[in-house]
Amino acid sequence: MPGCGKSTIGRQLARLRQLAFLDSDHEIERFLGCSIREYFDREGEAAFRDIEQRVIAETLASGQARIVATGGGSVLRPANRDAMKARATVVYLHTQPEDLARRLSRDTQRPLLQVADPRQRLRDLYAVRDPIYREVADIVVDTAHKSATMLVNLISMQLDMSAGSRQDAE
């Protein structure tokens, strides 16, 4: 979800695990040569999702070990879900809509939240996306009442356990 901490947690997790970090939104903006909001306003959501799909596919196809923060809506496309499930360990930072609304109360850069009632918009997005996030996720982490450091350490431990259980299965 927007505002759950994907970029912040991703950067810190990458640093802890000594991996490169990539934020797909920044890659999309680099590709577009403008902000996501500008492109979204000019071309619409469908065109944005096409570019997002391309960037995610290219990122995951590289095979490079790294931490990738994807946009909150990237899982809406089946092709993105398939690529993530096939080529990545997916972590869902589960955050309740009310917490997201508090975090994003002053944010004016997220196109999907530029509506009369952003809190309700977050509830609506959550209702649609939460089941999809859970379907794709290998690891679900509840962010409530946890610092970034706690979340990073928890995710790192779960990644270690996940890797260990995969090796045991082989």
Structural domain including 73 reads 6-144
Q: Is 6 annotated as a binding residue?
A: yes
Please tell me the total count of domains within the chain: 1
The answer to whether residue 23 sits within a structural domain is: yes
- In this predicted structure, what is the pLDDT of residue 170? 46
Whether the CB-CB separation of 19 and 66 falls below 8 Å is answered with: yes
The SS3 call for residue 160 is helix
The answer to whether residue 167 sits within a structural domain is: no
Of 46, 68, 50, 49, residue with least CA distance to 59: 68
Q: Is 33 annotated as a binding residue?
A: no
Strands 139-142 and 91-94: parallel
The answer to whether residue 165 sits within a structural domain is: no
The answer to whether residue 105 sits within a structural domain is: yes
The answer to whether residue 152 sits within a structural domain is: no
The answer to whether residue 164 sits within a structural domain is: no
The answer to whether residue 85 sits within a structural domain is: yes
Average pLDDT per 10 consecutive residues for the chain, totaling 170 residues = 93 97 95 91 93 94 92 94 95 95 75 75 94 96 95 96 60
Q: Is 146 annotated as a binding residue?
A: no
The CATH number linked to 77 is 3.40.50.300
Q: φ, ψ for residue 85 (rounded to 5)?
A: -65, -35
The answer to whether residue 42 sits within a structural domain is: yes
- In this predicted structure, what is the pLDDT of residue 168? 47
Q: Is 138 annotated as a binding residue?
A: no
- In this predicted structure, what is the pLDDT of residue 79? 97
- In this predicted structure, what is the pLDDT of residue 3? 87
Of 76, 82, 81, 2, residue with least CA distance to 36: 2
